[in-house]
Amino acid sequence: MPVITYREALKSAMAEEMERDERVVLIGEDIGIYGGTHLVTDGLLERFGDKRVIDTPIAEGGFTGAAIGMAMTGMRPIVEMMTWNFSFQAVDQIIQNAAKIRYFSGGQASVPMVIRGPNGGGVQLSAQHTHSLEGFYGHFPGLKVVSPVTPYDAKGMMIEAIRDPDPVIFLEAGALYGTKGEVPDGEYTVPFGKARIAREGTDVTLIGYGRQVNMLLKAAETLAADGISAEVIDLRSIRPFDVNTIVASVRKTHRAVVVQEQWRWFSVASEVAAIIQEQAFDELDAPVERVSGAEAPAPYARNLETAAFPSEQHIVDAARRALYREV
């Protein structure tokens, strides 16, 4: 299979769907002439024209609301948030309208739209541009929330998102855009609500999503050198969430470590730990470990940013604690 970057996989998915379905349009800040802050939409203006690749003013609430109206009247808009932190300006539109219109209308109206852009840290954008919002958006019924890590999943889940009848929050990571992986030519989709077993193991289950999955795989290699067999699960989808894969893995390994960039309190890791406790409590041989970001605004300085987010060593130490090994 061809090896392409994460950003190329996203662009390929959007371009293929724009070719297939003339209802698909792109809308957002600097996505046309500039090609997107992370070049995900580079070249699409020239290919599809300014009626389908729409540069907007810096007005997230305005263009998100416009996209909701487009979706309600039969189009399939893809909204780019230059960074997911900017979506705070559009929260009322996303939560009060996009997430609820199907419910309010008794199923007579739907909002088939995708809102995408970089989420989380690792690229030195400081406190106002470095939030992990999967827990925030995952809280609201009516929204689907996904966070792919591989280029293969990025393309397959983007196509799935564009075709979905409901609003999809598509969380990318700035640190992943240049990463590479195998992506087949042609059309395929990756379903929501199905986790991926990225590495099989027998002693401890390491659970994460987004760019943290790559760190989990590195930690699993380190643990393997110490004779510990770690199973790595990539959640891929935050809402809907694959309970069965998580529970089956914990029943096999009897230990779990959940990793996220988010702050610890009221987070995805908290929910995963609660689900494990509810459905696999008798299988646990140790408390569920959580590895999270520091409870502070994200710092700009590289050394402090690195210290504020989970590291491979943090994950290894948590796995060893779960196995009652000295740390």
The string of pLDDT tens digits covering residues 5-55 is 999 999 999 999 999 999 999 999 999 999 999 999 999 999 999 999 999
| Mean pLDDT over the full length of the chain | 96
Assess whether 60 carries a catalytic annotation. Answer: yes
What values do phi and psi take at 30, rounded to 5? 60, 25
Domain architecture of the chain: domains with CATH: 3-182 (3.40.50.970), 196-322 (3.40.50.920)
Catalytic residue among 129, 131, 134, 160: 129
Amino acid residing at 268: V
Determine the pLDDT at residue 285.
Answer: 97
| pLDDT, mean of residues 80-109 | 96
Assess whether 312 carries a catalytic annotation. Answer: no
pTM of the predicted model as reported, rounded to 2 decimal places: 0.95
Cis peptide before 240 (omega within 30 of 0): yes
List strand residue ranges (DSSP E) for 89-195, in order. 114-118, 144-146, 168-172, 180-182
- What contacts 259, CB < 8 A, 6 or more positions away? 206, 207, 208, 212, 215, 216, 269, 290, 291, 292, 310, 315, 318
The string of pLDDT tens digits covering residues 147-172 is 999 999 999 999 999 999 999 999 99
Determine the pLDDT at residue 125.
Answer: 82
Determine the pLDDT at residue 122.
Answer: 76
pLDDT > 70: percent of the chain: 100
Catalytic residue among 60, 134, 231, 289: 60
Determine the distance from the C-alpha atom of residue 150 to the mean position of all C-alpha atoms in its chain, rounded to a whole number.
11
The string of pLDDT tens digits covering residues 274-297 is 999 999 999 999 999 999 999 999
